[in-house]
Structure 1
Amino acid sequence: MKSLVENLEEVKDYRKGNAIDHKLIDILVIAVLETLCGCEGWKYIEQFGNAKKEWLKTFLELPNGIPSHDTFGRVFSNINPKEFHKTFIDWVNGIREFIDKDIVALDGKTLRRSHDKINEKKPIHVVSAWSNLNSLALGQIKVDEKSNEIIAIPELLKLLELKNCT
């Protein structure tokens, strides 16, 4: 199965000249990911991209940062929609191979009544992993008081050593 990036690299870049500040693959991947997260419109995609810039840099180059909303609009108005659609559908179909396998849901919760205002004890926050195939909690990890779920999730995933699941 090819990754989203590998699939979208097949979209032809129609831009010409030396005024190209952003890699096409960066623009396409950001737009797809942000849309999957619920962004509607180029301005929201730009804002979300700026908010997630450090994470995006872990797998995209972003030589000139996050593209502007105008850049997203220009690029998408000039790429071949059929070509983009085909690469996106190919990626989705590749993911479907894993649907028969287990889907593990990750969720953060605050435990009810775990706080004690009188003794200034803050509530306990945990992140859990749930196996849909087995209807079973695979693991749970407490979120450090001065941390958040984003830091706890990779720790939980390392403990579980998951393979062949979504």
Structure 2
Amino acid sequence: MCAVIACAESWDDIALYGRNKLGWLRSFLTLANGIPSHDTFRRVFMLIDPDAFEACFSAWAQSFAEAFDREVVVIDGKNVRRSFDRGRAQGPLHLVSAWASEQGLALGQREVDGKSNEITAILALLETLSLKNSIVTLDAMGCQKRIAGQILERGADYLLGLKANHSKAFLAVKECCERHCFARGATARPVFDAFDDSHGRLVRRRVFVCPEAADLKALDAWGDA
């Protein structure tokens, strides 16, 4: 891991890093026979189960997390830059990642299989995360009953982007917000109100908390929505 952080990109690079840092590594590791060859590094990593390794690495990374009353875990999907190969008709690598915003810590990621979709990858990623007392946020792609249910099962709350593809829930929430937040005489006030011009246009972003939405029948299937 230290070698990769130091920009090692091959087994030769990792072995070279080890030889150059041997004195430092021996301050906390027993290296009676020195640094293994690049071939040994390659063979060992070929024998490791990648899913088991990821689970161990994620648990190790999360052990560094400080205790926050309400950590916000952002789950989002992105294409990795320059991961495509037009010559081989290979599309870009698409990853779903979980980011602990208070910690500034990546908690885990899953590759989106070309034969499945982002929803499947999100469900698999959630299985690997410790989420108790967290707030998990996802965009409209993650606005699915299965995902919401899994987040609740893991002891967290969710904040999901809701769009018109969930027509009944969308219309019910829209009508509720128009009545309680935007109508003349409405008593609700935004808990966040700011202007943003970072993308070449001026956008006003307002956030309302609308407790009345909890009583909407259209949200019954979402579990504690």
TM-score range, shorter chain: 0.3 to 0.5
Structure with larger RCO (C-alpha < 8 A, sep 6+): 1
Question: TM (normalized to structure 1)?
Answer: 0.39
Higher strand proportion: 2
Report the TM-score, using the length of structure 2 for normalisation. Answer: 0.29
